[in-house]
């Protein structure tokens, strides 16, 4: 009888989790048939690229930091699949209906997505969107490894101190990252949070690294590259 109750409870829990995922607006594909997506389809036609980077404008920004990009990842024929303004749902559409990765046989996908969801979705919903992306990638490219990066810190308001205003960090980011860190199995899916590297000794954002307290400067991209280049090299082997 006890075993039966446990099985029933487990089945009910599974149904609830499934329903929760289906109801999550951050885990539903959102059409992203824009000009940049169309450009990607031409880029991937060759089928080249050991590493793909999936994300929003922060990932797209690598294009303005080509020297750092090439030095850190050039040996792996990296493909930048970042589109400004993207939320988790947009990335889901691009890798499913958008067919952006279909011609590719990458060894590694680097994902950093979710900051554009913070205005309208809960931390749990955003994390669910990241999970949906990971699961979709695993089904599409079962031999590929995935490096999930913690969502980078961003400003969430201004706190006036004794000497000068201090930018507060958006607390939703920490909550998202705590959840998505559990996606890692350290076999095919890996997680790394490099957010602290963008902060000063007081734990605050600096405009020399994030000029608008969200997007990275050239120095910020150098920090990013240095923080993951060894991981990328290891995971593509």
Active-site entry in 23, 33, 102, 212? 212
Whether 18 sits among the annotated catalytic residues: the reply is no
Whether 57 sits among the annotated catalytic residues: the reply is yes
Please answer whether residues 204 and 197 qualify as being in contact, where contact means their C-beta atoms are separated by less than 8 angstroms. no
Active-site entry in 57, 122, 181, 217? 57
pLDDT digits (tens, 9 = 90+) for 52-63: 999 999 999 999
- Work out the average pLDDT over 195-210: 94
Domain residue ranges of the chain, discontinuous segments joined by +: 2-235
What is the per-residue pLDDT for 162?
41
pLDDT digits (tens, 9 = 90+) for 67-120: 999 999 999 999 999 999 999 999 999 999 999 999 999 999 999 999 999 999
- Rounded to whole angstroms, the Cα distance separating 131 from 89 reads 11
Q: Find the farthest-apart pair of alpha carbons in the chain and give their distance in angstroms, rounded.
A: 66
pLDDT band at 156 (very low <50, low <70, confident <90, very high): confident
Please answer whether residues 62 and 82 qualify as being in contact, where contact means their C-beta atoms are separated by less than 8 angstroms. yes
The CATH number, out of the four listed (3.40.50.1110, 3.40.50.300, 3.40.50.460, 3.40.50.9100), of the domain defined by the range 2-235:
3.40.50.1110
Q: Is it the case that residue 139 has pLDDT exceeding 50? A: yes
Number of other CB atoms surrounding residue 181 within 10 Å: 14
What is the per-residue pLDDT for 9?
44
Whether 37 sits among the annotated catalytic residues: the reply is no
What is the per-residue pLDDT for 85?
98
Which residues touch 168 (CB under 8 Å, ≥6 apart)? Answer: 155, 156, 157, 158, 159
């Amino acid at each position: 009888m006890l075993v039966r109750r446990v099985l029933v409870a487990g089945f009910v829990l599974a149904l609830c989790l499934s329903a929760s995922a289906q109801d999550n607006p951050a885990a539903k594909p959102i059409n992203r048939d824009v000009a940049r997506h169309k450009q990607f389809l031409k880029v991937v036609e060759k089928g080249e690229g050991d590493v793909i980077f999936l994300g929003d404008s922060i990932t797209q920004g690598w294009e303005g930091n080509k020297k750092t990009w090439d030095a850190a990842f050039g040996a792996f024929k990296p493909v930048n699949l970042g589109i400004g303004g993207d939320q988790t749902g947009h990335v889901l559409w691009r890798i499913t209906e958008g067919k952006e990765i279909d011609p590719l046989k990458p060894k590694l996908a680097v994902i950093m997505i979710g900051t554009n969801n913070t205005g309208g979705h809960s931390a749990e919903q955003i994390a669910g969107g990241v999970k949906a992306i990971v699961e979709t990638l695993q089904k599409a490219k079962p031999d590929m490894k995935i490096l999930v990066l913690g969502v980078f810190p961003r400003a969430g308001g201004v706190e006036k101190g004794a000497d000068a205003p201090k930018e507060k960090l958006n607390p939703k980011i920490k909550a998202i990252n705590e959840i998505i860190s559990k996606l890692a199995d350290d076999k095919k899916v890996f997680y790394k949070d490099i957010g602290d590297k963008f902060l000063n000794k007081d734990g605050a954002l600096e405009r020399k690294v994030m000029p608008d307290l969200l997007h990275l400067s050239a120095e910020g991209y150098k920090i990013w590259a240095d923080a993951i280049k060894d991981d990328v090299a290891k995971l593509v082997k």
